[in-house]
Amino acid sequence: MAQDPTNPHDALLKALLETPERAGIFLRENLPDVLRDRMADEPPRHLPGSFIDPAMAETHSDRLFEVALRDGRTAFAYVLIEHKSGPDPATPVQLLGYQQRIWQRFAEQDGKGRAQRYRQLPPIIPLVIYHGQRDWSVPLSLLDCIDADEALLVLQRDFGYQVCHLRPEESDARLSTDPVLRAGLRALAWAFAEHLDASAITRLLRDLPEGHPLEQALLRYIARVFPTTESEVFRALETTRPDRAEELNMTVAEEWIERGKQEGRQEGRQEGRQEGRQEGEVSTLLRQIERKFGSEARKACQNRVENASLEELGRWLDRVVTADSVEEIFGDE
């Protein structure tokens, strides 16, 4: 059982809501009617603090309950005790942060079905227990804390957000009326194309004024991301920047060289890991052979073991455990 909270207010709240039946009575008496009327008869289920945040311990005053609804779905009731002497103006933002973490933990609790859970999040009803000296004067909705007119609040009210989907076939007008923006956005939109030829890259570079500060950045992006060749990029540079094609092509070439080095280092690391594993299995097998059959047996088969494949080594390591002779390790191989 978790330790009692060191704060006496937290300790008392923990004791009050310890049993599901008493927690159920408390929630029914304090939650909004619209939720209370939908609650099933079964007691709420307390979820551990780690469900809210892995860093939270059971010693916290926060309590999260899963409430069964009559229609078979569930809701969360999040209870927070506010034991400061006065109301904390940060409470609405604090509660939103807790809700975000609760939803995220709910959806990410198991890899299977993750996408579906993100589309079927249970409602969370926060409930603050306050016993301070002054009246509670903090707005009861985060919307009431946002300084905006009604038209802008409409965009905020349903927690909605906007999506700018950059599609490869998007027209110039829909991407942007600003040519620099259009060049950058189209480069992003084409990032997953199977191949981009010189004419496509020319279209990007024509939108970007020659010598613009973003010129180098765009060329580096093309070199790092685009499925194209150096010759295609050079042809586009010759078309759009004939006087500086050679100079700018060096930027692209340098990026390709660096990318090749990184890929080589990555391949080297993979090869190194495989070599390390192989050396480890060779050492283990030879040591086991020496322990069971003596140093002469080890010497006799050392060359064979050191030149074996990983697959062979794995097979021989399985056999060495039960083998009564060296011959049984290698079998008919």
Is a pLDDT exceeding 70 seen at residue 67?
A: yes
pLDDT level of residue 3 (50, 70, 90 thresholds): very low
Is a pLDDT exceeding 80 seen at residue 172?
A: yes
- Name, of 18-22, 41-45, 151-155, the range with top average pLDDT: 41-45
Residue 73: per-residue pLDDT:
95
Residue 223: per-residue pLDDT:
83
Residues 142-171, mean pLDDT to the nearest whole number? 84
In this structure, the answer to whether residues 152 and 12 fall within a common structural domain is: yes
Q: Under 8 Å CB-to-CB from 289, ≥6 apart: which residues?
A: 297, 298, 301, 305, 320, 326, 329
Judged on CB neighbours under 10 Å (0-12, 13-18, 19+), 58 is middle
In this structure, the answer to whether residues 14 and 132 fall within a common structural domain is: yes
Q: How many domains does the chain have?
A: 3
Residue 58: per-residue pLDDT:
45
CA-based end-to-end distance of the chain: 58
In this structure, the answer to whether residues 32 and 150 fall within a common structural domain is: yes
**3-state DSSP assignment of residue 85:** coil
Residues 215-225, mean pLDDT to the nearest whole number? 85
CA distance 258 to 202: 24
**Which of 105, 132, 157 is a domain's end point?**
157
Mean model confidence pLDDT for the chain: 82
Task: Write out the residue range of the structural domain in which residue 225 sits.
Answer: 172-240
Residue 119: per-residue pLDDT:
93
In this structure, the answer to whether residues 41 and 126 fall within a common structural domain is: yes
* The model's pTM: 0.59
In a domain, residue 249? The reply is: no
Name 47's bridge partners. Answer: 64
In this structure, the answer to whether residues 33 and 146 fall within a common structural domain is: yes
In this structure, the answer to whether residues 95 and 124 fall within a common structural domain is: yes
In this structure, the answer to whether residues 114 and 74 fall within a common structural domain is: yes
Name 28's bridge partners. Answer: none
Is a pLDDT exceeding 80 seen at residue 326?
A: yes
Residue 51: per-residue pLDDT:
58
Is a pLDDT exceeding 90 seen at residue 18?
A: no
In the chain, pLDDT over 70 holds for what percent of residues?
A: 84
What's the angle, vertex CA 14, arms to CA 10 and CA 74, rounded to 5? 120
H helix or E strand, kind and range, residue 289:
helix 245-293
In this structure, the answer to whether residues 133 and 218 fall within a common structural domain is: no
H helix or E strand, kind and range, residue 146:
none
Lowest-confidence pick of 101-105, 275-279, 306-310: 275-279
In this structure, the answer to whether residues 32 and 139 fall within a common structural domain is: yes
CA distance 283 to 295: 14
Is a pLDDT exceeding 50 seen at residue 167?
A: yes
In a domain, residue 23? The reply is: yes
Is a pLDDT exceeding 50 seen at residue 115?
A: yes
In a domain, residue 124? The reply is: yes
What's the angle, vertex CA 71, arms to CA 70 and CA 72, rounded to 5? 90
In this structure, the answer to whether residues 190 and 224 fall within a common structural domain is: yes
In a domain, residue 245? The reply is: no
In a domain, residue 163? The reply is: no
In this structure, the answer to whether residues 133 and 14 fall within a common structural domain is: yes
Is a pLDDT exceeding 60 seen at residue 60?
A: no
Lowest-confidence pick of 45-59, 167-181, 197-211: 45-59
**Which of 123, 157, 191 is a domain's end point?**
157
In a domain, residue 166? The reply is: no
**Which of 157, 181, 215 is a domain's end point?**
157
CA distance 151 to 309: 69
Cβ(188)–Cβ(217) below 8 Å: no
Cβ(305)–Cβ(316) below 8 Å: yes
Predicted confidence (pLDDT) per residue in 36-54, tens digit:
999 999 999 998 765 555 5
In this structure, the answer to whether residues 217 and 91 fall within a common structural domain is: no
Cβ(59)–Cβ(6) below 8 Å: yes
In a domain, residue 250? The reply is: no
Residue 262: per-residue pLDDT:
60
Residues 184-202, mean pLDDT to the nearest whole number? 89
Predicted confidence (pLDDT) per residue in 279-307, tens digit:
767 877 887 788 788 888 888 888 888 88
Residue 4: per-residue pLDDT:
42
In a domain, residue 251? The reply is: no
